[in-house]
Amino acid sequence: MRYLVLLALFALLGACSSNKDKDEEERVAKLPDYDKTIDIDRVWSRNAGSDKNRKYVEIVPAFADGVIYTADVKGRVFAFSADTGDRQWKVDTKFVFAGAVGAGNGLVLAGTSNGEVVALSAETGELLWSKEISSEVVAPPATNGSIVVAQTIDAKVFALDAKTGEVKWSYDHTAPVLSLRGTAAPIVTSTQVICAFDNGQVVSFSASDGSRTWEARAAQPKGKTDLERIVDIDGSPVVSGGFVYVSSYQGNLLALYRSQGKEIWRKAESSFYSPAVGIGRVFISTDRSRVVAFNSANGDVAWTNEQLLNREISAPIVFGDYVAVIDSDDYLHMFNVEDGSYVHRFKPKGDGFKAPMLYDNGRLFILSDDGKLSAYEVEED
């Protein structure tokens, strides 16, 4: 009996220790103290649609030729001057958009919940064409001016004629049993299309005919359950010069040669989002809300900041001399790109921030879930 009591006591102590460790691991970090060395000025703010009543919709804005484009689930598309915030045009298309917008080469592109790709004139918002494909398009379509590429939630890729919307080629990838909600946006150049998939693979295609030129794997499914085997790539690959960087959930941050797909380096880091690239470094937000900077050439860790653990931070963006993320309490946090030191925080205008931030010409553009599009600039003290 004494032996059984001791066993029970040890089991209880072990459970308490295990629960304590788990609680510590899941502890949400408090807002850190910092010495303020910069100010953030809001240059302008405009109303730009809303996805607040649609829980699983993520508005993704696009930037092209000095104009920011965004859409909402009501089928409205907006164009704003990045310089002044003045609205260039607004159209009501009646489509049920999944929220994501792509832009370039005179086109504004959006995907719908009903599996359609919609192309508008970037200059006027006029509907040029729409094309129904296999299923919902939640990631922004992309174009090189010759083709428009859309990736669907059922792991298919469609290359459409940029002028007519007719299918030029398609690709059917194997979808895993279970994945995260979301799809990586395709990367399209004049000769190449790069797509990342929910099973951890990255595939490069010839833009002209869809033939596969190389494939790589950012993560290998492991574990006994479907949940443990999720290795989803929801963040789009990032192309920088002759290199491709891609991050995956429960997988790796991977660096590849763009032309051959040959691996340069990989680091075991789990992330829901795209990496950010700048000043010779690759930055990621991990699934536990660490911000990590890697040397882009060899993958060595330059710095790690753990001051925001478990605050559910967004994808990082390189913003001049800073790296910025937004947490689930709507605070925007800024770090020095050189050493990861914490330099500033503020609450941007709006409520909820699922959309990735944009940066151009010294300005940070932020779109809130309730449709506030705002431009910010850094003012050094």
pLDDT in tens, 293-331: 999 999 999 999 999 999 999 999 999 999 999 999 999
Q: Which residues contact 370 (CB under 8 A, 6 or more apart)?
A: 50, 52, 350, 351, 352
Same domain, 145 and 68: yes
For residue 142, what are the domain limits? 61-172
Same domain, yes or no, for 139 and 89?
A: yes
> Last residue of a domain, which of 139, 172, 205?
172
* Spatial contact of 178 and 171, defined as CB atoms under 8 Å apart: no
Is residue 302 within 8 Å of 281, Cβ to Cβ?
A: yes
Cβ atoms 206, 155 nearer than 8 A: no
CA 295 – CA 348 distance, rounded (Å): 30
Domain boundary among 146, 172, 198: 172
Q: Is the sign of the CA dihedral 206, 317, 263, 173 positive or negative?
A: negative
Cβ-based neighbour number of residue 358 at 10 Å: 19
Residue 350 DSSP code: S
Q: Could you tell me if 38 and 319 are in contact, meaning their C-beta atoms sit under 8 angstroms apart?
A: no
Considering the domain architecture, whether residues 86 and 128 belong to the same structural domain is answered as yes
Q: Is 323 helix (H, G, I), strand (E, B) or coil?
A: strand
Looking at residue 379, its pLDDT comes to 86
Q: Is residue 155 part of a domain?
A: yes
Instruction: Give the model's pLDDT for residue 110.
Output: 95
**Burial 193-203, CB ≥16 within 10 A → b, else e:** bbbbbbbbbbb
Give the model confidence (pLDDT) of 94-126 as tens digits.
999 987 899 999 999 999 999 999 999 999 999
Q: What is the pLDDT of residue 208?
A: 97
Residues 316 and 342 in one domain: yes
Q: What pLDDT, on a 0 to 100 scale, did the predictor assign at position 83?
A: 97
Is residue 372 situated within a structural domain? Answer: yes
Q: How high is the pLDDT of residue 10?
A: 44
110 and 134, same domain (yes or no): yes
| Amino acid residing at 374 | S
**CB 192, CB 204: distance < 8 Å:** yes
294 and 338 part of one domain: yes
| Residue where a domain terminates, one of 116, 148, 172 | 172
Asked if residue 380 belongs to a domain, the reply is yes
Specify the pLDDT at position 381: 62
Based on the domain organization, do 72 and 41 belong to the same domain?
Answer: no
Which tokens go with 225? Answer: 């359950």
Q: How far apart are CA 175 and CA 101, in angstroms?
A: 24
Q: Is residue 56 part of a domain?
A: no
Asked if residue 321 is part of any domain, the answer here is: yes
List the CATH number of the domain containing 283: 2.40.128.630
214 assigned to some structural domain: no
| Per-residue pLDDT at 220 | 66
For the chain, how many structural domains are there in total? 2
- Regarding whether 128 and 39 lie in a shared domain, the answer is no
Domain presence at residue 295: yes
| Residue type present at position 341 | S
Q: Nearest 10 degrees: CA dihedral of 108, 240, 190, 145?
A: 10
- 111 close to 98: Cβ distance less than 8 angstroms: yes
Which amino acid makes up residue 23? D
Look at residue 100 and tell me if it is in a domain. Answer: yes
Residue 251's Cβ-side half-sphere holds a number of Cα atoms within 13 Å equal to: 28
- The answer to whether residues 85 and 157 belong to one domain is yes
Same domain, 39 and 104: no
pLDDT by residue for the chain (381 residues), tens only, comes to 433 443 444 455 455 555 555 565 689 999 999 988 899 999 999 999 765 555 556 778 999 999 999 998 889 999 999 999 999 999 999 999 987 899 999 999 999 999 999 999 999 999 999 999 999 999 999 999 999 999 999 999 999 999 999 999 999 987 654 445 568 999 999 999 999 998 889 999 999 999 999 999 887 666 556 555 455 688 899 999 999 999 998 889 999 999 999 999 999 999 999 999 999 999 999 999 999 999 999 999 999 999 999 999 999 999 999 999 999 999 999 999 999 999 999 999 999 998 999 999 999 999 998 899 999 999 876
Are 372 and 309 in a shared domain? yes
* pLDDT of 108: 98
In sequence order, what are the residues at sequence separation of 6 or more whose Cβ sits closer than 8 angstroms to the Cβ of residue 328? 311, 312, 313
Q: Please give the structure tokens belonging to residue 115.
A: 């599996």
H/E element, 201: strand 201-206
pLDDT value, residue 44: 98
User: Do residue 40 and residue 101 come from a single domain?
Assistant: no
